[in-house]
């Protein structure tokens, strides 16, 4: 057998399948519209069972049959994701499941769900609630009231709390309160609290249960799911951390009513990032100025993209790196300027887009009140970029967007990003 010849044959089959895939998704578009108009849920397990039973009978080879069932199941999962994306908030589905085998978790997106923490989470035990002094204290108090034995640790707000010293304080509080592995950690706050508390949960006595209740837009659209936890070390972002999936994530958009406009804009930056790498329709909503106001559909759209990406690559060795779009230069900016994470991501995305996309992105960022230029020393930003822990063999894997909704990963020499820094960093 000639391997090249076989590969050519597979390519021809893949080409046929790609066009059949598009054809199938066009029909799914009609299914989504019908379900929306008739108030039917996306999930229809009985129909799925019928499809599997009927279609698997088409496969003659008994060894292939179970694999075909898997293929069908995956195809139906992709179709359901497509239906949800098309239906946005209209599907009534508020629970997403992050499917990661043994450490899968549910993500509930629902107004007012914070008040239902006691009913939704398993809190009748020792619970360490980690929050910060910028988060309205009533959020942590609401959770504490639902716990069997609550202990609240309030850390100073800001990135500075993502440190080994603050992390140690949380562990000490747990030790002093006599936590063993049956206790749990619950984060109530933004990405800083989530990353910090998640890391404490991941490492205390080799790991305890973790619940996440994100209260910033940035953490609701992005950081609260996916299981990345970390603290910074000597100015290097997320230098120490691990993967630790929460048992459950409760996303209550009502908590955003107390968030200031600057933080809302920061969350929007992360949402624009998600749109650019994986959801063209969402990007169009941003362009049309329709993404502000009711944030629930934006949150759900972003979570759908992130969920699919994490499920495909939990450990960040491949496709998950696309979520770092805007973060390569963004992280460098974060370490040398006073700007917030989301603002740095906004700036960091600009040089990584094709010219045509950039021209569409700039008015979107301006409309959201996000910066498109910053005063700093470009040389210092470049030096900070050279510290990036993701540089391997002199190359850094960066994410580029050539058209909204899709992106590519490319390994480049850091010097190749120098001109991009000059585009957004002005002396
Ligand atoms: N783990 C991940 O996958 C991931 C992804 C993206 C970002 N991050 C991390 O997230 C962090 C940034 O998160 P962030 O933008 O949420 O910042 P943050 O956690 O610092 O929160 C921003 C500010 O909002 C305040 N706040 C929080 N909730 C509030 C509320 N409901 N009302 C009023 N004020 C409120 C906080 O006190 C803080 O001052 C960075 O450290 C970043 O590295 C992690």
- Over residues 80-97, the pLDDT tens digits come to 878 766 655 444 458 888
The pLDDT tens digits of the residues spanning 59-84 come to 999 999 999 999 998 899 888 878 76
Residue 96 in any domain: the answer is: no
Residue 359 lies in a domain: yes
Whose alpha carbon is nearest atom 14 of ligand 1?
191
Of the candidates 102, 96, 87, 103, which has an alpha carbon nearest to the alpha carbon of residue 307? 96
Q: Please give the number of the atom of ligand 1 that sits closest to the Cα of 229.
A: 1
Sign of the CA dihedral with 342 first, then 306, 89, and 31 last: positive
Q: Are residues 19 and 118 in the same domain?
A: no
Interval between CA 364 and ligand 1 midpoint (Å): 22
> What CA–CA distance (Å, rounded) separates 49 from 120?
29
Same domain, 36 and 138: no
Ligand 1 center to 207 CA (angstroms): 23
pLDDT value at position 90?
Answer: 44
Mutational pocket test of ligand 1: of 153, 210, 223, the residue with most ligand atoms within 8 Å of the beta carbon: 223
Residue 194 alpha carbon to ligand 1 centre in Å: 8
Cα of 171 vs centre of ligand 1, distance in Å, is 21
Q: Which of 63, 91, 119 is the last residue of a domain?
A: 91
Q: Let me know if residue 388 belongs to a domain.
A: yes
DSSP 8-state assignment for residue 189? E
Is 250 contained in some domain? yes
pLDDT tens digits for range 162-191: 999 999 999 999 999 999 999 999 999 999
CATH value at residue 176: 3.40.50.1970
Residues 339 and 401 reside in one and the same domain? yes
Instruction: Give yes or no for residue 131 CB within 6 A of ligand 1.
Output: no
Q: The domain spanning residue 13 has which CATH number?
A: 1.20.59.10
Q: Do 248 and 291 fall into the same domain?
A: no
Both 152 and 274 in one domain: the answer is no
How many A from CA of 348 to the centre of ligand 1?
18
Angle between helices 64-87 and 3-37 (to 10 degrees): 50
Task: Please name which of 97, 94, 145, 131 lies closest in space to residue 247, comparing C-alpha atoms.
Answer: 97
* Backbone φ and ψ of 393, nearest 5°: 50, 40
What average pLDDT does the segment 110-119 reach? 93
For residue 43, pLDDT over 80 is answered with no
- Least confident window among 237-251, 269-283, 305-319, 383-397: 383-397
Same domain, 416 and 320: yes
* Residue 411: both structure tokens together: 């390994």
Assess whether the C-beta atom of 371 lies below 6 angstroms from ligand 1.
Answer: no
239 and 344 in a common domain = no
Whether 171 is in a domain gets the answer yes
State pLDDT tens for residues 213-272.
Answer: 999 999 999 999 999 999 999 988 899 999 999 999 999 999 999 999 999 999 999 999
Query: In the structure, what pLDDT confidence band is assigned to residue 283 with cuts at 50, 70 and 90?
Result: very high
- 3-class secondary structure for 337-352? CCCCHHHHHHHHHHHH
- For residue 410, CA distances in Å to 160, 193, 381, 391, 397 come to 32, 32, 21, 12, 5
* Range 383-387 contact pairs with CB under 8 angstroms and sequence separation of 24 or more: 384/331, 384/332, 384/333, 384/335, 384/336, 385/328, 385/329, 385/331, 385/332, 385/414, 385/417, 385/421, 386/414, 387/235, 387/236, 387/332, 387/335
- In this prediction, residue 41 has a pLDDT band, given cuts at 50, 70 and 90, of confident
User: Ligand 1 centroid to 260 CA: how many Å?
Assistant: 12
- Condensed to tens digits (0 to 9), the pLDDT of residues 143-166 reads 999 999 999 999 999 999 999 999
pLDDT at 278: 94
- Name which of 331, 367, 323 is nearest 347 in CA terms: 331
Weakest-pLDDT range from 24-28, 135-139, 243-247 = 24-28
Q: Is 22 exposed, middle or buried (0-12, 13-18, 19+ CB in 10 A)?
A: exposed
| Last residue in a domain, options 238, 258, 278 | 258
- Closest residue by Cα to atom 3, ligand 1, is 223
The verdict on 116 and 211 lying in the same domain is yes
pTM of the model: 0.80
- Does residue 216 have its Cβ closer than 6 Å to ligand 1? yes
Would you say the CB of residue 174 lies under 6 angstroms from ligand 1?
no
**220 C-alpha to ligand 1 centroid (Å):** 9
Q: Give pLDDT, residue 88.
A: 52
Q: What is the pLDDT of residue 262?
A: 97
Any domain includes 324: yes
Q: Which atom of ligand 1 is nearest to the CA of 158?
A: 20
Q: How many separate domains does the chain show?
A: 3
Confidence of residue 391 (pLDDT cuts 50, 70, 90): confident
pLDDT of residue 78: 84
Q: Does residue 218 line the site of ligand 1, with CB under 6 A?
A: yes
Closest ligand 1 atom number to CA of residue 214: 28
pLDDT tier at 38 (50, 70, 90 boundaries)?
confident
**262 alpha-carbon distance from chain centroid:** 20
What's 408's domain CATH number? 1.20.1090.10
Are both 58 and 117 inside the same structural domain?
no
- Asked whether residue 296 falls in the same domain as residue 324, the answer is yes
Per-residue model confidence (pLDDT) at position 157: 97
Higher pLDDT, 44 or 54: 54
16 lies in which domain range?
3-91
Q: Is the CB of 222 under 6 A from ligand 1?
A: yes
> Do 83 and 119 fall within a single domain?
no
For residue 95, what are the β-bridge partners?
108
* Within-domain flag for 411: yes
The pLDDT, as a whole number, for residue 85 is 67
CA 132 – ligand 1 centroid, Å: 10
Asked whether residue 308 falls in the same domain as residue 333, the answer is yes
| Residue ranges with strand state E in 193-246 | 209-214, 228-233, 236-243
Share of the chain above pLDDT 70, in %: 97
CA–chain centroid gap for 102, Å, is: 20
39 lies in a domain?
A: yes
Mean pLDDT of 42-60: 88
Low-confidence winner among 37-41, 58-62, 367-371 (lowest mean pLDDT): 37-41
**Ligand 1, residues 155, 156, 219: which to mutate, most atoms within 8 A of Cβ?**
219
SS3 letters across 100-168 = CHHHCEEEEECCCHHHHHHHHCCCCCEEEEEEECCCCHHHHHHHHHCCCEEEEEEECCCHHHCCHHHHH
- Domain end: 197, 228, 258, which one? 258
Q: Is the CB of 192 under 6 A from ligand 1?
A: yes
Tokens of 203: 């490492």
- Nearest CA, atom 13, ligand 1: 191
């Amino acid at each position: 057998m000639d391997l090249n010849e076989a590969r050519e044959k597979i390519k021809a089959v893949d080409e046929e399948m790609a066009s059949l895939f598009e054809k199938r998704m066009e029909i799914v578009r009609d299914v989504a519209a019908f379900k929306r108009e008739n108030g039917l849920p996306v999930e229809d397990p009985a129909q799925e069972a019928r499809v599997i039973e009927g279609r698997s009978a088409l496969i003659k080879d008994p060894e292939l049959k179970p694999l075909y069932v898997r293929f069908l199941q995956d195809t139906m999962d992709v179709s359901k994701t497509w239906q949800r994306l098309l239906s946005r908030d209209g599907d009534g589905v508020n629970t997403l499941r992050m499917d990661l085998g043994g450490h899968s978790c549910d993500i509930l997106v629902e107004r007012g769900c914070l008040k239902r923490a006691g009913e939704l989470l398993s809190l009748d035990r020792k619970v360490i609630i980690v929050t910060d002094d910028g988060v309205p204290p009533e959020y942590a108090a609401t959770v504490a009231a639902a716990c069997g034995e609550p202990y609240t640790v309030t850390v100073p707000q800001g990135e500075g709390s993502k440190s080994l010293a603050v992390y140690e304080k949380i562990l000490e509080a747990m030790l002093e309160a006599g936590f063993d592995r049956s206790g749990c950690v619950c984060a109530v706050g933004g990405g800083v609290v989530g990353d910090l508390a998640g890391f404490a949960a991941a490492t205390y006595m080799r790991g305890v249960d973790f619940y996440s209740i994100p209260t910033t837009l940035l953490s609701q659209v992005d950081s609260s799911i996916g299981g990345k936890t970390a603290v910074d070390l000597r100015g290097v972002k997320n230098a120490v951390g691990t993967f630790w999936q929460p048992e459950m994530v409760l996303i209550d958009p009502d908590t955003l009513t107390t968030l200031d406009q600057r933080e809302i804009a920061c969350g929007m930056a992360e949402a624009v990032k998600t749109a650019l790498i994986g959801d063209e329709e969402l990007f169009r909503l941003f362009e049309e100025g329709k993404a502000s106001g009711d944030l629930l559909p934006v949150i759900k759209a972003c979570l759908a993209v992130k969920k699919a990406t994490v499920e495909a690559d939990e450990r960040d060795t491949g496709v998950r790196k696309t979520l770092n779009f805007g973060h390569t230069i963004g992280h460098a900016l974060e370490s040398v300027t006073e700007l917030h994470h989301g603002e740095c991501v906004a700036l960091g995305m600009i040089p990584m887009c094709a010219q045509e996309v950039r021209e569409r992105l700039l008015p979107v960022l301006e409309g959201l009140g996000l910066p498109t230029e910053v005063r700093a020393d470009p040389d210092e930003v470049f030096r900070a970029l050279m510290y990036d822990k993701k540089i391997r063999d002199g190359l850094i894997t960066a994410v580029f967007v050539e058209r909204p909704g899709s992106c590519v990963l490319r390994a480049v020499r850091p010097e190749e990003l120098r001109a991009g820094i000059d585009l957004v960093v002005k002396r």
